[in-house]
Amino acid sequence: MTRVEVRFLGTSAAIPTPKRAHPSIYFRYVGRAEYVMLFDCGEGTQRQIFKCGENFMRISKIFITHWHADHFAGVLGLVESMSLEKRREPLEIYAPEAEKFVPMILNLGYGIRSFPVRYYDVPFCGSEISVVVDEEEYQILSIPVKHGIPAVSYCFLEKDRLKIDKEKALKLGLPKQSKLYKVLKEKGRIVYKGSEIKLEDVCRVEKGKKIVYSGDTEACRNLVKISKDADLLILDCTYFEELEERNHMNFKQAVEIAKRSGAKRVVLTHISRRYQNESELEKIIEKHRGETEIKLAKDFMKVVIE
């Protein structure tokens, strides 16, 4: 069984508060191997990692949604700390206009880097879903969103897995434990005791997990497109009343996106500092609770999907 852990390191909007740090999500996927990533890296991210007992040295990839400081200002300090701890493994940074901004950050000051930092541009125009990372067990997808500057949403998509249905296999005469199952998965067919057995005769598909992070955005079609049927949808919900401010979503819009996407669970984050009374926000959310589970993000909150 695979496992996804989503730890909210910072859940504030542009200005932090005593309870909410700048946006960052510590993401751990445990499959045949373990993968640790960051989605956004606001100011103070490394300290938030220390406070919740996670390990910043395990991070292999950072995905920046856009180049507003509350979403990237922690990158320099994190890289410096990694160097001081004698890191050797490469760190990958993905972002719209990465080739423009990452070198500027890395060249600040007189720090000496002990490891390579590789950076990759993420498309930020149009309406196509792009494959940003393609690993054996998962993909990272992105799509442009509407924020007034180049910005994207990201999707972690676990690849579907073929599982042997042991009851079907036993009915066809296969043993309970055998290397034959590995051969069957690799080749799609085997001959056992004179009978041909095909993979589809004994297997079922285990649908991969899907987690989407909106980043900062207005409500838009692209966000619905990438969020379809997500197991977890993390949404910008800067405001809880209908305001004229643009480039972000309010609560009503976030609920509508959640409904249109068909997401199973929704967490609202990027909360404006104007909202100091969390119990009042919880009451607003409770009034709109329906088939989709909606929660208010809090710093250090962990969501687990198995």
49 and 187 belong to one structural domain? no
Domain that holds residue 167: 162-204
What are the residues whose beta carbons fall under 8 Å from the beta carbon of 26, sequence distance 6 or more? 6, 7, 9, 36, 38, 49, 52, 54, 59
223 and 118 belong to one structural domain? yes
Instruction: Please give the pLDDT value at position 106.
Output: 94
Instruction: Please give the pLDDT value at position 289.
Output: 73
Instruction: Please give the pLDDT value at position 181.
Output: 74
The amino acid at residue 125 is C
Q: Do residues 158 and 135 make contact, with C-beta atoms less than 8 angstroms apart?
A: no
180 and 84 belong to one structural domain? no
Instruction: Please give the pLDDT value at position 298.
Output: 98
**CATH number of the domain bearing residue 92:** 3.60.15.10
Q: Do residues 29 and 35 make contact, with C-beta atoms less than 8 angstroms apart?
A: yes
Question: pLDDT tens digits, residue range 73-107?
Answer: 999 999 999 999 999 999 999 999 999 999 999 99
Q: Do residues 300 and 19 make contact, with C-beta atoms less than 8 angstroms apart?
A: no
Residue where a domain stops, chosen among 183, 204, 225: 204
CA distances from 148 to 151, 188, 219, 294 (A): 8, 49, 12, 27
38 and 130 belong to one structural domain? yes
96 and 194 belong to one structural domain? no
144 and 222 belong to one structural domain? yes
What's the CA gap between 253 and 255, in Å, rounded?
Answer: 5
248 and 124 belong to one structural domain? yes
128 and 50 belong to one structural domain? yes
Instruction: Please give the pLDDT value at position 291.
Output: 67
Is 70 a known active-site residue? yes
124 and 192 belong to one structural domain? no
Instruction: Please give the pLDDT value at position 203.
Output: 80
* Residue numbers in the chain where pLDDT is lower than 70: 245, 291
178 and 130 belong to one structural domain? no
Instruction: Please give the pLDDT value at position 164.
Output: 76
Q: Do residues 91 and 40 make contact, with C-beta atoms less than 8 angstroms apart?
A: no
Q: What is the pTM of this model?
A: 0.91
194 and 49 belong to one structural domain? no
Residue where a domain stops, chosen among 204, 227, 256: 204
**Domains identified in the chain, total number:** 2
Instruction: Please give the pLDDT value at position 165.
Output: 74
Instruction: Please give the pLDDT value at position 287.
Output: 84
80 and 172 belong to one structural domain? no
What are the residues whose beta carbons fall under 8 Å from the beta carbon of 171, sequence distance 6 or more? none
Question: pLDDT tens digits, residue range 150-205?
Answer: 999 999 999 998 777 777 777 777 887 777 777 777 787 888 888 888 877 778 88
Catalytic residue among 70, 231, 236, 299: 70
